[in-house]
Amino acid sequence: MSWLVVLPLPIPALDFSPPHGFSGDLPLGHRVVVPWQGGIKIGIVVAAGQAHTHRLREVIQVLDPWVHPSLITTLKAYETLSGTPLGLLYCDAITCGWEPHLKHLVRPVEGTDLSLFGLELPTDWSTAVDSPVALDQVREQGLLEERFEFPIRTELAYRGLLDGKDNLTPKQKHAWKTLLTIKEAASLAEWARNAEVSTSVVSGVLARGWAEAFERPAGPPECVPIMERNLKKAEWDIPQSGVSRLHGGHPIERFQHLKTLIEQHLGTGVMYLTPDNYRLERAWQALSHLGAQCYSGSLNPLQRDHIWQQVREGQCRMVIGTYGALALPFPDLSMIILEEEGSDAYKLLSGSKMYMADLTATLAHQRESLLVYTGSVPAVESLKVPGTVLAPPPPRVHVVNYAEGSSQPETGPLSMQHMKPALEGYPLSQDLRKVLTQVAERGRQAVLFAPRKGYSALIRCRSCGYIPFCKHCDVPLKFHQGTRLMQCHQCGYREGPPSTCPKCRGAIWQPKGPGTEWILQETRQLLPGFAVYRYDKDHQDDLRPIYEGHPGIVIGTQALLQEKAPPELALISLTLADSWLGHSDFRTDERYHKLLRQLLEWHPRKSPLLVVQTFQALHPALLAVTEGKPADHFPLQDLGRRELLMYPPYSLLAQVEVASRDKARSESVAEDIQKHLTARGADAEEVLGPAPAPIGKIRGLFLTHLLLRATTQERLKTLLTHMDEERWKARVRIEINPRSANF
DNA sequence: AGCACGCCGACT
DNA sequence: GTCGGCGTGCTC
């Protein structure tokens, strides 16, 4: 009997035979070392294989149990539905343990001479030296014995020495003394931080021989000090089993409720998942005193490994973490709490495109764990489960109605003469200017959210309206003031703005659609001398003064929302809320509503004023918030629309993406798929499209979309199976439960 | 993913 | 004539 082994590669699971002389049960969920393309690789045993006639290679060694069998079942179900190679799913779901630092020991089988193969090995165990291909040859001949060991883990650290070779400068001397006081530093950066000098100073000390690097056994991860917060116990109808939800109110209130629940499950395993780091930190501060560990992408591999083992051994019974924590091998897991279950952050951007919230639900079901959704707003999809919605705190929102009898401004300040009063000062309204000035006068902090990085969404020729587009993608180039270049936010292509319009020779370019740079410029003009920072993907100012509580204004994109709120935050503004409504996909409104609620509870204690500048002041999502409606009011409204349109939760979706360098081919293959499915009995409600993707061309690839919609999982599976019946003449990818779909 | 093989266009 | 683009296929 062979074993099915998953490798961290975008391929299906493959068969291997058990190691020579192996007797025992199938090591389901164990890590194994297997030969792979001349070298070796770590894999996970996921099933018994079908005994092929195919000549298989042997697993070299079984290492240790790594995942719980329920995870294997869960991922298998996802593979069956989506057709994604299992390796890709494992690679994305299991964020630790694929590259253990193993000591590789080898020796020839007794009485064999390996010099024929160009290998000179001692007869007794020795560390394998670098000739993986030659090793693999003798391995395949069965002439090699091998063993892998986990060495004692070490990490590099620095310590001070009592004398060195060269003299030190005063600063270096200070750094040296600091190091002697703290005894050891885990990195140069940590040492420098402690001494409050730059890293060049500490490396100077190192170079002059007053300190040395040394290996030390790797300890557990540094633990953030636990902040004991006295959470009151809240009374509520505690769910006993199945799925339930708890939303709304103030975050602290929700934690109070959850604490009561968590305490009942502490002995039997609790997992608390958050969509991002700021919410991780918030949950950590509220709940870590219950004895939780933290697990997230920001830990280093050693730290992750440490938590993984602790959880496996049952020494750690509660973990607060981001999506990667889902695969942790809890021997018992009686409850999973999923914060902000409808967050797009759970959609993996990498190959598998898994929606981790779906995976969480499947896993909870598999393990019969209690599943609790929590957060500011329930997802429209989770309204069907029983739950509690806490009363919202009074909202502090001011809406600037740009639409007051006017049309959207065509350009920046240049054409202000035609503007209605509301638009005066665009992109910073008079109202916003007023409160910003107050913030500065009172020495407080503010955050302005701009819809995009760069200066403007596009530039346009004033006389003929020509807009420069990217060569490779179907998007306008965004203008960046810092570099004075036009840049594509899809593929990164850059070029200088043309001096005259290539169409009409006009020489005046008008920016449209303010970005961080534009807002920054306006803010600096409004408040000369006041600290103004920029934070987006291109450019991150050092925000330390802000986090230390110094006055200032931060201009950023939504990326900023994944960080914690500035401590003295008095004002938040969406400078152009409409940009969150610009997409034509069915979750847009829900997303906007969630953003507003999230902004209102961003700061854990204060409630800063939220200024929303918009052309759609009567948008129902905005009204639900300003009128103080409960958190589920808008989602319930949206649910009705979803039913009419037969969107989730009333159906399951799969998006089919056809990509080709040739536009006509991309379209025709999509049509072929549509016809094929129709011929197989799919109706017009089940196959939507084809239509060009929201961005019809990316990096020279033309993208065409189809949307498959089914009422049951079985039906969706059937439709997807029909797609495998033919070989399409273009790249076809399927995404289960896409988070955006434009039909 | 990597790495092979294999087929067409533009160059020393 | 070769170099090198990337499309396709395989890994057990």
* Tens digit of each residue's pLDDT (9 = 90 or more) over A38-53: 889 999 999 998 766 6
Q: Is the separation of the CB atoms in A567 and A552 below 8 Å? A: no
- The answer to whether residue A251 sits within a structural domain is yes
**pLDDT tier at A280 (50, 70, 90 boundaries)?**
very high
- Answer yes or no: is pLDDT of A427 > 50: yes
Among A200-214, A318-332, A673-687, which range has the highest average pLDDT? A318-332
Q: Which residue has the higher pLDDT, A497 or A249?
A: A249
CATH code of the domain in which A35 resides: 3.40.1440.60
A71 plus A198 within the same structural domain? no
Say yes or no: A30 and A78 in one domain.
yes
Q: Which residue has the tokens 């310590």?
A: A159
Residues A574 and A434 in one domain: yes
Single-letter residue type at A431: D
Question: What integer is the mean pLDDT of A280-301?
Answer: 89
Position A422 pLDDT exceeds 90? no
Both A416 and A528 in one domain: the answer is: yes
Q: Tell whether A10 and A118 lie within a shared domain.
A: yes
| Distance, Å, A322 CA → C10 C1' | 35
Taking the C-alpha atoms of residue A663 and residue A660, their distance in angstroms, rounded to an integer, is 7
Residue A224: predicted pLDDT: 53
> What are the phi and psi torsion angles at A380 (to 5°)?
-55, -35
CA of A11 to C1' of C10 (A): 10
Is the CA virtual torsion A362, A363, A369, A373 positive or negative?
negative
Across the beta sheet with A293-295, the strand order is A293-295, A318-321, A270-273, A335-339, A370-375, A243-248, A387-390
Residue A227 confidence class, pLDDT cut points 50, 70, 90: low
| CA–CA dist A354, A357 (Å, integer) | 9
Residue A298: inside a domain, yes or no? yes
Mean pLDDT of A326-344: 97
Contact (Cβ atoms closer than 8 angstroms) between residue A172 and residue A204: yes
For residues A471 and A358, membership in a common domain is answered with: no
| Residues A366-383, mean pLDDT to the nearest whole number | 96
Which of A575, A597, A629 is the C-terminal boundary of a domain? Answer: A629
Q: Are residues A254 and A382 in the same domain?
A: yes
CB < 7 Å to strand C — which of 391-410 in chain A? none
Mean pLDDT of A536-561: 91
Q: What is the mean pLDDT of residues A297-318?
A: 91
pTM comes to: 0.87
Cβ A133 to strand B below 7 Å:
no
Q: Which of A356, A390, A424 is the last residue of a domain?
A: A390
Q: Which residues from 24-43 of A have any strand B atom under 7 Å from their CB?
A: 37
A643 found inside a domain: no
Question: In CATH, what number is assigned to the domain containing residue A328?
Answer: 3.40.50.300
Nucleotide at minimal C1' distance from the A2 CA: C12
Is residue A225 in some structural domain? Answer: no
Q: Given this model, what pLDDT does residue A88 score? A: 93
Confirm whether any atom of chain C, the nucleic acid strand, is less than 7 Å from CB of A9.
Answer: yes
Looking at the domain assignment, is residue A222 inside a domain? no
Decide the pairing of beta strands A14-16 and A3-6: antiparallel
pLDDT tens for residues A179-193?
Answer: 888 888 888 888 988
Q: Please indicate, yes or no, if residue A709 is contained in any of the structural domains.
A: yes
Nucleotides of B under 7 A from a protein CB: 1-3
A571 and A613 housed in the same domain: yes
Is the C-beta atom of A51 closer than 7 angstroms to strand C?
A: no
- CA of A217 vs C1' of B3, distance in Å? 38
Is residue A237 predicted with pLDDT exceeding 90? no
Nucleotide nearest to A88 (CA to C1'): B1
| pLDDT at residue A353 greater than cutoff 50 | yes
List the domain range (segments joined by +) for residue A305. 243-390
Please give the single-letter amino acid code of residue A102: L
| Distance from C-alpha of A85 to C-alpha of A89, rounded to nearest angstrom | 7
Identify the domain boundary among A112, A132, A149: A149
**Other Cβ atoms closer than 10 A to A684:** 8
SS3 letters across A549-564: CCCEEEEECHHHHHCC
56-115 of chain A touching strand C, CB 7 A cut-off: 56-57
Confidence band (pLDDT; 50, 70, 90) for A615?
very high
Q: What is the pLDDT of residues A666-722, one digit of tens each?
A: 888 888 899 999 999 889 999 997 888 878 787 777 888 999 999 999 999 999 988
pLDDT at A294: 92
CB atoms within 10 A of CB A191: 28
Chain C nucleotides with an atom closer than 7 Å to a protein C-beta? 7-8, 11-12
Distance A204 CA to B3 C1' (A): 44
Let me know if residue A161 belongs to a domain: yes
Q: Does residue A500 sit in the same domain as residue A416?
A: no
| A340 shares a domain with A290 | yes
Q: Are A115 and A258 contained in the same domain? A: no
Give phi and psi for A547, each to the nearest 5: -70, -20
Q: Are residues A539 and A610 in the same domain?
A: yes
Number of structural domains found in chain A: 6
What backbone torsions phi and psi does residue A578 show, to the nearest 5 degrees? -60, -25
Helix or strand or coil: residue A569?
strand
**Domain presence at residue A647:** no
CA angle A622, A624, A627 (to 5 degrees): 100
Residue A3 has pLDDT above 70, yes or no: yes
Largest Cα span, chain A: 95
